[in-house]
Chain A
């Protein structure tokens, strides 16, 4: 036996050779708790909610779930990877516009989309032409955000830009995209964005049945992406990401290139935001610069912080809770919402940096400990 036994266990009575102890097998309840909770939530969201909620409320929930998909990506980049991204709206917008362009062209049926006629555009811009093909447009929903994120990641992370500098950079990108979109009235619909959609793959987009179907689609996509993200977090890649968050320089001396890991993670979250943007368009019926600029990007991050950025479920929950809070307070106390949101953010960051989920875990632990002590 080596002489380097840990002092707390090095007892003379120890057998001379001890195999590496297997990692403790979790109790069956602990092992099944995750899947059980996930199944319960899935049933609630996919079966109960569409039956119980009136169309208006269901539509709102679908919208929040779109934000929750973006939040999931923020949970990965910020919560797990420590990269505070304040510009997820950019990727959300790219996905949204890709979908919106297809829907506009489809509705126009060979003619120019309505807003182009009003802006005095006389022929379809070359940029728009390929988006008439649904396969191309759907591919672009993911490809565009991922490509932009990869490019940005390679440029930025290799130069070891991080922390506040990275955050400011992403925010500037969101601001720049808004300026670009607003400035190109004839190409993008300007401030109004793309709206007035009628048909979504053969369904009347305003019909209750279509909206219910869209809700189920959004919820299912969120569920699948959540499982994927969870798998990622639990993989070696996820451990590596956590290690980079807590000690990027040390990871470098383990022989890994943190820039590659961060870039891939950032691209994954961008792809998620793109998908969310594309789903958002038929659900809400509009994509415009106001929906993807600095403010909505920040609101998403605030939601993730409130829900708890270190847990993927916290990020998702935060987005939904903030969505409801925003709707409720905008209806009841419209002028107070902005201050409430700010106050909530400050409260959470100072009192419960791990957010609502962190708070819940702490409470649960203290309850079980008290029960164990009793």
Chain B
């Protein structure tokens, strides 16, 4: 389990979110250490994306706190949270299709510049952008419009945009959803590489992907943390098997009917 020392980067305590009475998050406690690669799993509606939405300021919680280093994130606006060093991707990748791959990355990397300095035209390619291009392997597509990218390439570009911002914490929401097998493998390797020098939280459904690339896993169920542990521990836990396999059985029965 996480060492409760000063090396905790993200500390979520007693987080509650209610939508019209429905409790999407019902007292979530979670702490993620500096440099950790943490997977967040759970069946649909478990509150994984809601948790990320709260951390990044998209959703206001009804209670609880999110500490990032020494800062409280609850109550801050989205772009302020990004400026503190929290970056995220979305389930459906959103890159700017009218801009080139390079322009997408450059825009991401320029976010700390004051507004007036953006009035000048870009000259050359900054180091952060170059590194992001290299890590994602998108060099050859640098001057293509992002609109022509495949689904997988878009996700990599999004991750590249995050890297270019040099965040302290990355939140990836289902990075391999809808990807073909070879794209998944590449994304996994990209993830491993990014996790080497970043703190990363990944929301993922895909058990196979989890087995391959996860070490520490937190299982959410009905708005609460069900358990935390290694992939093996999680997979061996009867409660986890129940919520995943039980659901699968019900679905199978539904299909038969």
Contacts and interface: CB of A to CB of B under 8 A. Distances in A.
Contacts of A111: none
B139 A236 contact: no
Interface string B95-133: 011110011001110111101001111100100001001
Contacts of A240: 107, 118
B193 interface: yes
Interface stretch (B18-26, B33-41, B81-89): B81-89
A18 B56 CA distance: 36
Q: Classify the secondary structure of B's interface with A.
A: helix
B166 to A, nearest CB: 11
Contacts of B99: 239, 242-243
Interface stretch (B5-13, B140-148, B232-240): B140-148
B31 interface: no
Q: Interface extent on A, as a size class?
A: 35 or more
A234 B121 contact: yes
A2 B156 CA distance: 13
B59 interface: no
A257 interface: yes
B217 interface: no
B236 to A, nearest CB: 31
Contacts of B90: 250, 253
A235 B99 CA distance: 12
A23 interface: yes
B143 A24 contact: yes
Contacts of A246: 96-98
A253 B193 contact: no
B165 interface: yes
Contacts, number: 115
B161 A254 contact: yes
A9 interface: yes
Contacts of B83: 255
B98 A252 contact: no
B142 A21 contact: yes
A151 interface: no
Nearest to A1: B137
A6 interface: yes
A80 to B, nearest CB: 10
B106 A236 contact: yes
Interface in A245-283: 246-247, 249-250, 252-257, 260-261, 264
A252 B78 contact: yes
Nearest to B156: A4
B112 A236 contact: no
B94 A20 contact: no
* Most chain B beta-carbon neighbours within 10 Å: one of A231, A253, A257: A253
A159 interface: no
A135 interface: no
B196 interface: no
B134 A2 contact: yes
A52 interface: no
B59 to A, nearest CB: 13
Nearest to B186: A4
A277 to B, nearest CB: 25
A20 B133 contact: yes
Nearest to A261: B115
Contact of B82 (A234, A236, A255): A255
A21 B140 CA distance: 7
Contact of B139 (A3, A20, A239): A20
B142 A20 contact: yes
Contacts of B103: 239
Interface string A210-244: 00000000000000000000011011110110110
B143 A5 contact: no
Contact of B79 (A235, A252, A264): A252
* Most chain B beta-carbon neighbours within 10 Å: one of A2, A4, A6, A261: A4
Nearest to A14: B140
Contacts of B156: 4
A226 to B, nearest CB: 16
A231 B165 CA distance: 25
B136 interface: yes
A3 B192 CA distance: 11
A247 B139 contact: no
B138 interface: yes
Given A4-B135, A254-B161, A255-B111, 18 more contacts: A6-B138, A20-B130, A21-B142, A23-B102, A23-B142, A236-B120, A239-B122, A240-B107, A243-B99, A243-B107, A246-B97, A249-B94, A253-B82, A254-B108, A254-B165, A255-B79, A255-B82, A255-B112
Interface of B: 56, 77-79, 82-83, 87-88, 90, 94, 96-99, 102-103, 106-108, 110-113, 115, 118-122, 125, 130, 133-143, 153, 156, 161, 165, 182, 186, 189-190, 193
12 contacts: A4-B136, A6-B153, A8-B140, A236-B113, A236-B119, A237-B115, A237-B119, A239-B107, A246-B96, A254-B79, A256-B111, A257-B79
